[in-house]
Amino acid sequence: MEPDGQIGFSVDVGAELFGSGSLTLPQKSLLLKAKPAFGAQEIEYQVFPEIPQDKYKRLALRNSGQDWGITMFRDAFVGSLGRELGDVAPVVGSLPLVFQAFRPTVVYLNGQYWGIHNAREQHNKYFIAQHFDADEDEMDFIEFYGKAIEGDSIEWQRFWQWLSDNHFHSDLKFNELAQRNDMPNFTDYCIFQIASDNVDWPGKNWRRFLSHEPGARWHWLPYDFDLSFGLMNTDFSWNTGFAGQNAFSRAIDSSFTHWASSDWQTLVLRRSLENQSYRHYFLNRTADLLNTVFEKEHLLARIDSFENLYLPEIDRHFERWFYSPGWLSYWRDNVQKMKNFAQSRADYCFEHVLETFPETAATAQITLAVEPQDAGKLDFSTLHFDTPQLPWQGRYFQGIPVPVKAVAKPGWTFSGWSLHDLGMADSISLMPTDNLALTAYFTSDSIPTGTDTAATFFR
C-alpha cells in the first residue's frame, strides 16, 4: 500500500527468510519470490519511483542487517550517495556504479505489525539484466573468492591467475588489464568502500559479473554497507562513530594485518596501483569524490533527510522489537554518531592518503574560476564546472599531477591561464601547490576549440 492508502499491488508470492549473519536477529529479512507455482510470474508494479522498472521476480524486505536496532537506514543511506547525487550531480556527472534501489517499508504479518523493513532490489541475474542490458542466461556472476551465483567461475579464475602472474607498471600492460576489468567502475567501487569505511570489505562484499558478450569486462557491484560510517571498527568495537580508521592501508594490505586483508582480497587493487598513470587517476578520483559526494555538508544534509524520513515510524518500530516505549533518544544518539563520522571522515581520508602513498607530499587547496564568468567551462580531474559552480574550491594532493581542460562556450575562445608558466594550451597537467588559484581566461567573438587527450583506459 502507498502512503496515501492506495493499493500498489496485491499478489500471491513465495516468502522466505533472507540474509546470513542478520538471521540471528529477532526481526528477519524476507525475500519475496514471484513464480507461477506461487501464483504470479512477476510482481508488476513500479516499486521504486526513481527507476522505471515495473516488473520484479524478486524483492527483498531487509531488516537493515547489522544496523538493525541502530539507525535502520545505514546501508540504504550509503547507497543513496551513489544513486541520488543531488546538488553534486552537475559537477560529478554520473557514477559508473549501480546501487540497489531502496524504499522504507512497514510490514504486517498476518495482520500484526512487524516494523520497518527496507524494500530493496535483490542482486541476481534479473538485476544485472535490467540495469546492464545483459542476457540473464549469458553471464558469470561471482561473489567472495570464486563462488558462482550464475554461470561458473572459470573466466574469473583465469583472470585471477593472470593478475597473479603479471605486473602492470607499463601503460601497455595496464591497457590489457583495462580491457578485462572496467577500471572507472572498479575505482569508484573501491573508493566508496574506503571513504565509507566499510569494515566488511575487502574481506567480504565482493560481487562482480562478466557478460558472455565479446569484449565484455568484469564489472563490480557495490552492496551491504551495514558496517560502515562508524558502526564497527577493525578491533570490533561497536557503534562508536569513529571516522579515523585508515581504510586505504586496509585496501592494499596483503599480510592479514587486518582481519580481512589477505593477499587474495586485495590483489586486484594492488596490481592496478602498480601503474603510475592509474595511481595518479585513483588518487585524483579519490580527491574528486571526497570534495563532492563525501564532502561533510553534503553528507550531513543527506543524513538529516534520512532522519526525517524514518522519524515518524521509529518509536513504533523500537517499541515492537524492544517491548517498551522511550527509544527515540537512543535512536537519535545513533544517528548523531553517523553525523560525527560524516563531519570528519573526508579530513581523515586526506590524511590517510598522505600516510599510505609516499608520493603525496601534502594537500593543496585549489580555487578554480573562469573569466569572464559565463565564457567557458572547466574540466578538472574527472569533475566538470560550469558557470553556476564557479568559483569552486577543493583539496588535492601535492605531488600528483591533475589534468585540466578549459572549454570555451559558443562565441568565445580560450586565451590563457592565470598561471603564465602553464602555457597557452587549453589542456594541461597541473601540479598542485598550497593555496593555488587557477583561472581560465577567454576572449569573445571566436570559435570554440579544444582537444580531448584523456587516456583511453579511463573512459
Residue 451 has pLDDT above 50, yes or no: no
Q: Average the pLDDT over 90-99 and give the result.
A: 96
Residue 339 has pLDDT above 60, yes or no: yes
Residue 457 has pLDDT above 60, yes or no: no
Set of cell numbers at residue 108: 504486517
Q: What is each CA distance from 298 to 79, 84, 86, 206, 346, in whole angstroms?
A: 14, 12, 9, 27, 11
Q: Average the pLDDT over 409-435 and give the result.
A: 95
Q: How confident is the model at residue 230 (pLDDT cuts 50, 70, 90)?
A: very high
Residue type, 407: V
> 137, exposed or middle or buried, with CB in 10 Å at 0-12, 13-18, 19+?
exposed
In percent, the amount of the chain with pLDDT more than 70 equals 95
Domain count, the chain: 1
Q: Average the pLDDT over 124-145 and give the result.
A: 95
Residue 249 has pLDDT above 80, yes or no: yes
Tens of pLDDT along 56-78? 999 999 999 999 999 999 999 99
Is 427 within the bounds of a domain?
yes
Tens of pLDDT along 360-411? 989 999 999 999 999 999 999 999 999 999 999 999 999 999 999 999 999 9
Is 401 within the bounds of a domain?
yes
pLDDT at 254: 82
Phi-psi sector, 435: left (phi>0), alpha (psi -120 to 50), beta? left
Strands 147-150, 139-143: pairing is antiparallel
Is 367 within the bounds of a domain?
yes
Is 50 within the bounds of a domain?
no
Q: Where in the sequence is the domain holding 416, given as residue range(s)?
A: 363-458
- Asked if residues 121 and 101 have their Cβ atoms less than 8 Å apart, the reply is yes
**Does 372 sit behind a cis peptide bond, omega within 30 degrees of 0 on the bond before it?**
yes
Is 443 within the bounds of a domain?
yes
Strands 402-408, 139-143: pairing is unpaired
Selection from 130, 150, 40, 77 nearest residue 300 by Cα: 77
Selection from 246, 257, 196, 247 nearest residue 222 by Cα: 196
pLDDT at 310: 98
- Asked if residues 346 and 296 have their Cβ atoms less than 8 Å apart, the reply is yes
Largest CA distance in the chain: 74
Question: If you search the block for the grid coordinates 586486484, which residue do you land on?
Answer: 268
Residue 458 has pLDDT above 50, yes or no: no
Q: What 3-state DSSP class applies to 204?
A: coil
Residues 67/315/343/195 CA torsion (nearest 10 deg):
20
399's CB contacts (< 8 A; 6+ apart) are: 359, 360, 361, 431
Q: What 3-state DSSP class applies to 355?
A: helix
Phi-psi sector, 189: left (phi>0), alpha (psi -120 to 50), beta? alpha
Q: What 3-state DSSP class applies to 270?
A: helix
Helix/strand/coil (H/E/C) assignment for every residue in 404-453: EEEEECCCEEEEEECCHHHCCCCEEEECCCCCEEEEEEEEECCCCCCCCC
Is 280 within the bounds of a domain?
no
Strands 29-33, 383-385: pairing is unpaired
pLDDT at 86: 87
CA 386/CA 16 separation, integer angstroms:
50
Is 290 within the bounds of a domain?
no
pLDDT at 407: 98
Set of cell numbers at residue 178: 583495462
Selection from 143, 235, 251 nearest residue 197 by Cα: 251
Is 177 within the bounds of a domain?
no
Q: How confident is the model at residue 257 (pLDDT cuts 50, 70, 90)?
A: low
Q: Which element (helix H / strand E) includes 165?
A: helix 154-165
When the pLDDT of each residue in the chain is averaged and rounded to a whole number, the result is 94
CA 181/CA 176 separation, integer angstroms:
9
Selection from 171, 196, 184, 97 nearest residue 381 by Cα: 184
